Amino acid sequence: MRAAARLGVLALVLAVLAGVPFFGGPSWERPLIDLLTLAALASLWNLLAGYAGLASFGQQAYLGIGAYTLYLAAAQGLDPQLAVPLAALAAGLVALPVSFPLLRLSGGHFAIGSWVLAEVFRLAATLQGGNTGLSLPGAGRHEPLVRQAMTYWWALGVAACAVGGVLLLVRGRYGLSVRAVAGDPVAAAACGVRVARTRRIAYCAAAVGTGAVGAVLFADTLYVQPESIFNVQYSVSMMFMVLIGGIGTVTGPLIGALVFFALQQTLSGYGPWYLVLLGIMAVAMTMFAPRGIRGLRDA
């Protein structure tokens, strides 16, 4: 009964959010796009670090792949609003072969390796198109209000799929396997868990979702630049949200995304001090509430 009630509340929330373009308009859509993409990124990074034990500093690689795939599809005449799934698919196709050498690493070596990978993609994008950036072809296919509403719906859909997908993965048999791998991969392998396959599923799933987010960000801003889309700050922000909200939980990253979004809105005018305050908060939470805000409720 409680599960049915929760599903009903969730469906109501999604219905209200889906109706924002009709009763809220651009003034609501603009900040909500930011919040929804943050929630998606936090959930996807939590799948890697919180469940699979893979702390990545290179998820911006798939943001960039998603954004540049959207550009290539639009340059061939495809409506950019219809190319978001292609961007997600491209990120997954790149992640699959990359995962074989990268997942041989673990711990700090994996974190550094993932960051190096992102830098390789950044350099490749810079060499191909320069560092001046690219505008999204075909953005004028739709009226500005319609285009922003469609982008908002994509952001909502990607966030819902990211959170729902992670929930489905970790609540089933795969969830038991991935937790075992994160805790002790040697013991997990001895119990019959296919460690490499388990980690690969998490890595590729996170890449697919992150690629979709990259496409949504490009569709929203209409401009992409290697230095910005491949910026390691994205991965740092993901880590911050997950640690603040509660790593290894489904709702923790959502709480962290809300906190991070609120801090962005209130502190961004303080320049570099904004980043200093975020750092102080992250250190304080790690020291005094290592399980995050979500963990305080269970304490």
Q: Is residue 217 part of a domain?
A: yes
Number of domains the chain is built from: 1
In a domain, 9, yes or no: no
In a domain, 269, yes or no: no
Is the Cα torsion angle 176, 177, 178, 180 positive or negative in sign? Answer: positive
Whether 213 contacts 70, CB under 8 Å: no
Which stretches of the chain score pLDDT less than 70?
1-4, 6, 129-130, 297-299
What is the rounded distance in angstroms from the CA atom of residue 87 to the CA atom of residue 32? 21
CA dist 13 and 92 (Å) reads 29
- Determine the length of the chain: 299
- DSSP state, residue 133: -
Q: Does 240 reside within a domain?
A: no
Q: How far apart are CA 118 and CA 45, in angstroms?
A: 15
Domain of residue 35 covers: 24-231
pLDDT of residue 269: 75
The alpha carbon torsion through 48, 212, 154, 249 (nearest 10 deg) reads 0
The answer to whether position 69 is within a domain reads yes
Specify the pLDDT at position 265: 84
Residue 262 maps to a domain:
no
Report if residue 239 sits inside a domain.
no
Q: What is the pTM of this model?
A: 0.93
Q: Is 122 helix (H, G, I), strand (E, B) or coil?
A: helix
Concatenated DSSP letters of 230-277: T-THHHHHHHHHHHHH-TT-SSHHHHHHHHHHHHHHHHGGGTHHHHHH
Instruction: Specify if 95 maps to a domain.
Output: yes
Query: How far does Cα 222 stand from its chain's mean position?
Result: 19
